[in-house]
Structure 1
Amino acid sequence: MIDKPTARLKRKLILAKGAIAFEGLWTALYPALMVAGLALLLVLIGVPALLPVSLKTAAAVLFGVAFVAALWPLRRLRWPDDAAALRRIEIRSGLKNRPATAWQDKLAEPQADPASRAIWMVHKRRMAEYLKSLKAGWPHSGLPARDPIALRSALVLGLIVAGFLNWGQWDRRLSEAVSAPVKASVAAGFDAWITPPAYTGKPPILLSGAVAEARLARTRQLHVPQGSLLVVRLNGAAQPVLTMAEPGAAGASDEDAAQTARSQDIPKSRDSAVHEVRTKLNETVTVSLADRGDTLARWRITVIPDAAPSAEVAGELALTPTGGFAVPWKASDDYGIAGLEAHFRLAGDDTGQLFADALKYDPPQSAISLQKLNPREADGRAFMDFTAHPWAGTKVELQLEVRDQAGQKGFSAPVRLTLPARNFSKLLARAVVEQRRQLVLRPDDRQVVVRTLAALMAWPDELFTKSAHYLGLRMAASRLYRA
């Protein structure tokens, strides 16, 4: 029967051997665990998914070789013997004189004298008391000596963070790491819409999506204002082509209809894999979108022409007491008037002859104010005063010019009138103004004007009240004579 101290010592020896074996195994597995942990960290953060197949395979082989090489220290592992276990127990217990080893000692002479046997028994009882406090101790890691900068801690922290961020996606990450990417043939996706000009106030028209397709199935045809912008944007396309076919004339052959179609390759946007094209719609067309010969969509688009604006003089012109005149007017446009002006040009004399040699003065013109911004219809009265213009008192033609927001212009029918001039009460002033008008309209007949001015200066006492007026008129006549 085994006594209690011996049984206790055997239990401590088993624990000590297990602790020593675990410490050796942990130390030997450390390099392999670091390699495996690094590989797992790269998988969790998605690095393999970014690599081509060749690099992914090379990395897998490299990590495999490194893992096998890191397992090499395992070949030196052995199960600890009793001596190593006893040394661990005595060191961890902190006992002096090695009581565990001493307990296993035997009396040199089993048939010794009674005194020697008594001393031996006292020694055994003392050692048995020491055995009650034996400790095998918990396994102690030797990694701090092999990893003084604690790379293992950084790796564990990285694995914890990557695992938390990829919670629920570990299977997908592992699948990406061990599987090769499969290039599936995916149909190109596209977005298309038409943006009418801003001045029309029309909303954009979507051409892609379930709602747009349902609407197009009902209407079969789209109506958009002239100048609308068609935008097509494709993702995942290989060779997208946009074809715009104009409607052929009645009875036209298929060959003639094909000649009216215009095709263009849709280029990629700069710094992007997206194909995009923008084109203005100024005529009715059938638009087809295709990629690699497959038709993705077809739209029949009817363009609503933007009519030119119109304007008219809506009544008789009325003179004002100050020498000006009022012009009643009306104007309209399908999307809104941008501006309205009144322009004048010389109309000719009573015989219908135009004043082709008239002095080149800027013709009078006047901007007409609108009561509100960009009205579709407007009317009013414009008041003008050109009594100071050299054309005052001559026959002119008035024409209204109206502009819409697309830059188109419309003109009213011309109206002939005598441009109102200032009324002078003094005879000399009337005569000078009349000669100025003749000089402006017929500069080649300036000698007639000179003789008329000389006749005015023949009796200065009757016409001139100030000598300055006489001298000024005389100087003007002299310069005109020498011109």
Structure 2
Amino acid sequence: MAENDASRTWRPTRRLGWTRRTTFAAMLLERSWPAILGLAATAALFLIFAWFGLFRLMPDILRILVLGLIGIGAAGSIALLVFGGRRLRIPSAGDVDERIESTSRLTHQPLRAQGEQPASDDPFAAALWREHQRRMSDNLRHLTGGAPATRSERIDPFGLRAVVALLLVTSFAFSFGPDGGRIGDAFLRPLSVEAAGRRVDAWVTPPAYTRRAPIFLTSGDTQPLTVPEGSKFSLRVSNGESVGVNFEPAREGAEAVAIVSTAEAEAAAAAAGEGGNPGEGDRTAASDAQPEAQSGGDVAATVPADGPRDYEYTIAESGSLNVGTSFSSLGEWRFDVTPDTDPTIAFKGEPSEARNGALQLTYEVGDDYGVRKARGEIEIEGAEAAGARPLYPAPEMRLALPRRGQGVAEGKTSVDLTESPYSGADVELTLVAEDDAGQTGRSQTKAMTLPERRFLNPLARAVVEQRRILALDANKTRRVVEMLDAVTLRGDEFIANPTDYLALQAVRTRIATAHDDDTLRSAVDFMWEIALGIEDGDLSLAERRLRDAREQLSEALENGASNEEPRPADAGTARGDAGIHAGAR
């Protein structure tokens, strides 16, 4: 059994293979460390000069000289690695095993013995050697090659590498400021006007309806600024030569927008034949393309290369805005845009009819900055409305709004539509709210019948019905004429007042001979007067004058009219007329 154990060949474990690879890498790093440290130092010096903006401040000769010295230092480090007395030697397998044995403090070279063979071919010597290998393999546990020993203190006894590292970190932070430099400064000729000589004023003005103060920006603003949607970014640069302004949206896949100055946008509009001062939309659109040429030369030639420049941009989404030249940054700001949501409006209850016949609406409106106005939209219900030709537009319903503010509030409105040709019609009513940004919100649509004045006289009801039919569809003129003929067929027996009979005949003739819509509209108004006369006689006319006088008086009081100003129609006279007519009736 022992003879079989001695004859077994030792095989390296996976752990030993990993130890040899890490030891090889550590030894290779140690032997190449002087060259690596030299290259890192020269690269750090180059970045320090670039990020501190020193290359931009140097004359061309000095800049080329400094670059040459840095290049010589880098070349010397590489030459030391390849051709010097301490040139790089790749560690051999024996060197690696020797390093492991030395670091692991193994005696009698147990690791190297596993790879050696006896010099004699004697079987006894071979068996003895295998037994020696087996016993040495018992010591191959917990092997390590140790960490790389770079010994940088021998190369840099004064610790200058720490100073270089500190300057590198400081220059990197400095490069993000308005005076910071860029790597490209070392290879490009600097501008004649330095960035340090530019004055940059930037601010953001939120929309007026948000009631927020403008935000003045500084180059040190690193935190994202929260602004309302539609805020206007304004920028003024004391010298606009080679200045670029770009807005990069935060959403994925969006392309950056190049913003042109106000003067360039106006020149582009003039070159395109638009004339005048372009609006914000023109400036934004002009930012996506170069100004077109005009007959006198390029548009850019009409704008001075240097001098102050003004920029404006409407911020519609989150993103970052960068201002800078090819060599330095003049400012960078990030904006988180608060979206302006659409207003909301909804019925709080079913539309109802007041005692005086007016339509009463109760609703809730809301918006993040307040609703500017609201209205009710009316559409005729039914299939017949598709091909109809109405003589009058749907009545305008302006809704009263609660005190302006954020959130949801309740509103009430009473609209008198009893005299409208649409009164009594089957309609679909939708409430619409609009905010200062022009965004609209709509409620659900309700089908209803508009309130109408109730006529007790059958003849008056028939006239009002035909009036509504004619007003909502002028194509039904023939039908209305036929109905009026039927009503007046035996008027001497059924119409007590001859005046009403003559009025019906007159309106019938006007409708039958009408050549345009204006004549039909006058007939519609005439039919309303006829219906009122049939129902109330002269009393209804006096009531109308009294109501008109009250409305004029109320309007004058709301506008602050003084006692010396002439009053509108005399309400007392109208009231007296109403009493006289009532008595005569």
In 2, Cα distance between equivalents of 1:473 and 1:276: 71
Which position in structure 1 is the counterpart of 2:170? none
Q: Return closer, same or farther for 1:324/1:347 CA change in 2, 3 Å cut-off.
A: same
Deviation at 1:423, TM superposition (A): 0.6
User: Is the CA contact 2:259–2:311 (under 8 Å) kept in the aligned structure 1?
Assistant: no
User: What are the ranges of 5 or more consecutive residues in structure 1 without an aligned counterpart?
Assistant: 1-182
CA distance in 2, matches of 1:267, 1:323: 57
1:277 is aligned, of 304, 311, 315, to 311
- Aligned pair in 2 of structure 1 residues 450, 248: CA closer, same or farther (>3 Å)? closer
Give the alignment's TM-score, normalised by structure 2: 0.45
Cα distance in 2 for residues equivalent to 1:443 and 1:361? 10
Percentage of pairs with the same residue: 30
CA contact (8 A) 2:346 2:365 kept: yes
SS at match of 1:203: coil
Pick closer, same or farther for the CA change 1:221–1:425 going to 2, 3 Å. same
1:225 alignment partner, one of 204, 207, 228: 228
Per the alignment, residue 60 of structure 1 pairs with none
- Is residue 2:249 matched to residue 1:239? no
SS of the residue corresponding to residue 489 of structure 2 reads coil
Name which of 190, 198, 210 aligns with 2:208.
198
One of 185, 194, 199 as aligned partner of 1:189? 199
- Where does residue 393 of structure 1 map in the other structure? 424
Rounded to whole Å, the distance in 1 between the matches of 2:331 and 2:448 is 60
- CA pair 469-242 structure 1, distance change in 2 beyond 3 A: same
- Contact kept? 1:189, 1:237, Cα under 8 Å: no
Q: Which residue of 2 aligns with 1:263?
A: 258
Q: Matches of 1:190 and 1:301 in 2, distance apart?
A: 18
Question: Matched residues in 1 for 2:367 and 2:194: separation?
Answer: 52
CA RMSD of aligned residues (A): 2.7
Structure 1 residue identity aligned to 2:203: W
Letter in 1 for 2:374: L
Q: Offset of 1:278 from its aligned partner?
A: 1.5
- AA aligned to 1:417 is M
Q: How far did residue 232 of structure 1 move?
A: 1.7
Contact 2:343 2:435 in 1 (8 A): yes
Amino acid at match of 1:202: R
Q: Which residue of 1 aligns with 2:11?
A: none
State the SS of the aligned residue for 1:431: helix
- CA positional deviation for 1:460: 2.4
1:123 maps to what in 2?
A: none
User: What TM-score do you get using the length of structure 1 for normalisation?
Assistant: 0.54
Quick check: 1:326 aligned with 2:360?
Answer: yes
In structure 2, the residue matched to 1:90 is: none
Match of 2:479, SS state, is helix
* Structure 2 segments unaligned to the other structure (5+ residues): 1-191, 265-302, 515-585
1:332-379: CA deviation from partner (whole Å, max 9, x where unpaired): 11111111112212112xxx4425223230211121222324554321
Alpha-carbon distance in structure 2 between the residues aligned to 1:358 and 1:184: 70
Query: In structure 1, how many angstroms separate the alpha carbons of the residues matched to 2:193 and 2:500?
Result: 99
CA distance in 2, matches of 1:318, 1:184: 74
Look up the match of 1:347. 381
Task: Give the Å deviation of 1:442.
Answer: 4.4
Aligned residue runs from structure 1 range 160-179, under 5 A? none
1:342 touches 1:401 (CA, 8 Å); kept in 2?
A: yes
* 1:294-313 Cα shifts (integer Å, max 9, x gaps): 12222221222211111112
Cα distance in 1 between the residues matched to 2:406 and 2:438:
15
Report the CA distance between 1:419 and its aligned residue. Answer: 1.1
Residue 351 (structure 2) pairs with residue 317 (structure 1): yes
Between the aligned partners of 2:424 and 2:339, the Cα distance in structure 1 is: 43
Structure 2 counterpart of 1:471, from 486, 502, 508: 502
Query: What one-letter code is carried by the residue in structure 2 that aligns with 1:194?
Result: V
Change (3 A) 1:456 1:235: closer
Distance 1:267 1:402 in 2: 35
Kindly indicate which of the two structures has a greater share of residues assigned to strand: 1
Determine the C-alpha separation between the residues in 2 that align with 1:479 and 1:186: 82
Alpha carbons of structure 1 residues 324 and 462: separation in structure 2 relative to 1, 3 Å: farther
Matched, 1:438 2:441: no
Instruction: In structure 2, give the amino acid aligned to 1:372.
Output: R
Q: What letter is aligned with 2:256?
A: A
Cα distance in structure 2, aligned partners of 1:305 and 1:265: 25
Task: Supply the distance in 2 between the matched residues of 1:444 and 1:264 (Cα, whole angstroms).
Answer: 56
Q: Does the Cα contact within 8 Å between 1:235 and 1:273 map onto a contact in 2? A: yes
Does structure 1 retain, via aligned residues, the 8 Å contact 2:351–2:361? Answer: yes
Match of 2:387 in 1: 356
Q: How many residues align?
A: 283
The answer as to whether partners of 1:344 and 1:399 remain within 8 angstroms in 2 is: yes
Report the counterpart of residue 447 of structure 1 in structure 2.
478
1:401 maps to amino acid: V
Check whether the contact 1:355–1:442 (CA below 8 A) recurs between aligned residues: no
What do residues 144-163 of structure 1 show as CA deviations (whole Å, max 9, x unaligned)? xxxxxxxxxxxxxxxxxxxx
Measured after TM superposition, the shift of residue 325 of structure 1 is 1.9
Larger of the two Rg values belongs to structure: 1
Report deviation, 1:237.
5.3
Q: Secondary structure at the match of 2:410?
A: strand
Question: Which SS does the other structure have where 1:297 is aligned?
Answer: strand
SS at match of 1:472: helix
Cα distance per residue 1:437-467 (max 9 Å; x no partner): 2333444343333333222223324431211
CA distance in 2, matches of 1:267, 1:429: 67
CA distance in 2 between counterparts of 1:248 and 1:377 reads 31
Cα distance change, pair 479–191 in 1 and its aligned pair in 2 (3 A):
closer
**Cα pair distance change 1:432/1:261, threshold 3 Å:** same
